[in-house]
Amino acid sequence: MKSVLITGASSGIGKSLVKRYVADGYQVYAAGRNSHKLVQAFGDHPRITQLVFDVTQLDQIKTIAEQVTELDHLILNAGDCEYMDDILHFDSQLFARVINVNLLSVAYCLEGFLAKVLPFGRVGIVSSSATIVPFPKAQAYGASKAGLDYLARSLSIDLAQHNIGVSLIQPGFVQTPLTDKNDFAMPGRISPQQAANSIFNGMVAGKHLIRFPFLLILSLQVLALLPFSWWRAYISRKTNK
């Protein structure tokens, strides 16, 4: 039976991904930091093994990794978002928190779990479409996700000789607790089930880059072609309305 480990499985995209993989017959390691939330989400399904650890704690990851055998897919999805509301009082603690939970955590999980991924297996790294163009107040979130973009692409080069693939995953807006707290327009926001389908299909097809939804990604790519000063003027005007 094929197997997958998914971090951030207690909520949002990760929770829907667990259900999508289970529906396809996989043995799923569903990882979260809150055992109560995992039990609420999945009960005691025979093909779901719940793993409880904090992705920012390498010692916890290493201990848990002993319970994990071989993996066909490893999806590093856990993350958080905090915005920099008062830019003139740049909050380096906030910056460090976001880099820790979104970027360093992926390094810790790679140290713990990469050796478990089988030849012809695949690692999925959940970044964001926010890295296509810079957004206001997103200095910490954007920097953490841009770091993941580089990490995923560089990893892909070195893992190719081991026949392990890497998918860089850049979702647009998805309706989850992470975006429910946003007070700005989120064009093209999709359900976590739609996001999970796109990620699952892309992982199974061995895609290097999994981006969705199509229209939002296309618009961001066009905007990224503009001179930066045009984009800055446009997004500043929209934000300060």
In the bound state with ligand NAP, the residue whose beta carbon lies nearer, of 67 and 229, is 67
Q: Are strands 27-32 and 3-7 parallel, antiparallel or unpaired?
A: parallel
Q: Does 124 bind ligand NAP (CB under 6 A)?
A: no
Question: Helix or strand or coil: residue 24?
Answer: coil
Which of 2, 54, 153, 193 binds ligand NAP (CB under 6 A)? It is 54
Contacting residue, 30, 74, 103, 174, with ligand NAP by CB under 6 A: 174
Q: Which of 57, 118 has the CB closer to ligand NAP?
A: 57
Which amino acid belongs to residue 144?
Answer: S
Number of residues that bind ligand NAP (CB under 6 A): 28
In the complex, least distance from residue 75 CB atom to ligand NAP, rounded to whole angstroms:
10
Q: Which DSSP category does 171 fall into?
A: E
Stretch that binds ligand NAP, among 53-61, 116-124, 156-164, 217-225 (CB under 6 A): 53-61
Q: Which residues contact 114 (CB under 8 A, 6 or more apart)?
A: 74, 123
Handedness of CA 30, 33, 38, 41 (dihedral sign): negative
27: enclosing H helix or E strand? strand 27-32
> Binding of ligand NAP at residue 194 (CB under 6 A)?
no
Which value, in Å, is the radius of gyration of the alpha carbons in the chain? Answer: 18
Task: Give 79 or 165: the residue with its C-beta nearer to ligand NAP.
Answer: 79
| 156 near ligand NAP (CB under 6 A) | no
Pick the closest to residue 125 from 210, 15, 220 (CA basis).
Answer: 210
**Length of the chain, please?**
241
Binding site for ligand NAP (CB under 6 A): 8, 10-14, 32-34, 37, 54-56, 77-81, 101, 126, 128, 171, 173-174, 176-179
